[in-house]
Amino acid sequence: MNYRHAFHAGNHTEVFKHAALVFVLEHLRQKPQAFAVLDTHAGLGLYDLTSIEAQKTLEYEQGAAKVYAGDLNAAPAYAELLGAMNPVHLAAYPGSPEIVRRLLRENDRLIACELHPADFELLKARYRDDPRIAVHHRDGYEAIGAFTPPPERRGLVFIDPPYEATDEATQLAWALKNGLAKWPTGIFMAWYPIKDERIAETLAQAAVLAGFPKALRAEFLPRAQDGLSLAGGGLLIANAPWRLDERLSALCVELSGLLGDGKGRWAVDWLTAP
């Protein structure tokens, strides 16, 4: 599949993965030591929900719009961020770089990589004046080898590719394995789409066979799978923070009542010992 963020900004998979991203950033902020985040497929950083792309799909109406006006008890910081960006009505949705930027402290850093030329230029211009953010025009998987481990020795690698390549899951599995070999204590968080089970199975097998440390899998599908449409999304998190499984479970329970048709499913389980 081809997951260009501009068409899918704010949909149900974005709500789930970005709330989870906030959980991990909140964990990193608990200690005073600085941390670094490597966002391997950063996209535009911020998305206009009135744009041609967003209006073509209107996917945000079944995602962010469902949680925007009310409380999200399982993920209050995510809900507050969305509200702060949209004080009057829902018109913009934050991509992962913008979410990270808003949770960085003075000495924390974001390394954002984007390979699409036009998206890179927009991303670079957006964050040009923030000294905490470095934007690079380079392949995200290659960037994992180039930028890890960071000098801070604390932080996150967030991997959210567009799944344009037929062997994307295999590339991602190798990137996770090689990245963890270079930075065994880093948190690695990878998102994947769920139409069928192929991508999920490839990543799960890689995590188990390679022995990824504290590998947590979380999947949220607000509607039943038909093998064709984007039913939901999953996260594979290595070196998952303490109690992240509990927070993700609570999030899935709450989102199940807000999104979808009641015929979906969710699961949070450990692939390797916590």
What are the pLDDT digits (tens) for 202-261? 999 999 999 999 999 999 999 888 888 889 999 999 999 999 999 999 999 999 999 988
Instruction: Determine the residue type at 82.
Output: L
Phi, psi for 187 (deg, rounded to 5): -85, 125
**What average pLDDT does range 191-203 have in this prediction?**
93
Q: Which of 78, 95, 89 is nearest to 42 (CA)?
A: 95
Query: Which residue, 22, 36, 187, is CA-closest to 110?
Result: 36
Let me know: does 212 contact 176? Beta carbons within 8 Å. Answer: yes
**Which residue in 160, 167, 226, 261 is the catalytic one?**
160
Q: State CA 213 to chain mean position distance.
A: 19
- Continuous H helices in 51-134: 52-57, 64-68, 76-85, 96-103, 117-126
What pLDDT is recorded for position 67? 93
148, amino acid identity: T
The 155-159 sheet, strands edge to edge: 133-136, 109-113, 36-39, 155-159, 187-194, 232-238, 216-221, 265-270
Q: How are beta strands 36-39 and 92-94 bridged, if at all?
A: unpaired
Whether 245 sits among the annotated catalytic residues: the reply is no
Q: CA–CA distance from 50 to each of 14, 102, 118, 161 (Å)?
A: 17, 22, 19, 24
Q: What is the pLDDT of residues 41-60, one digit of tens each?
A: 999 999 999 998 889 989 99
**pLDDT at residue 1 greater than cutoff 60:** no
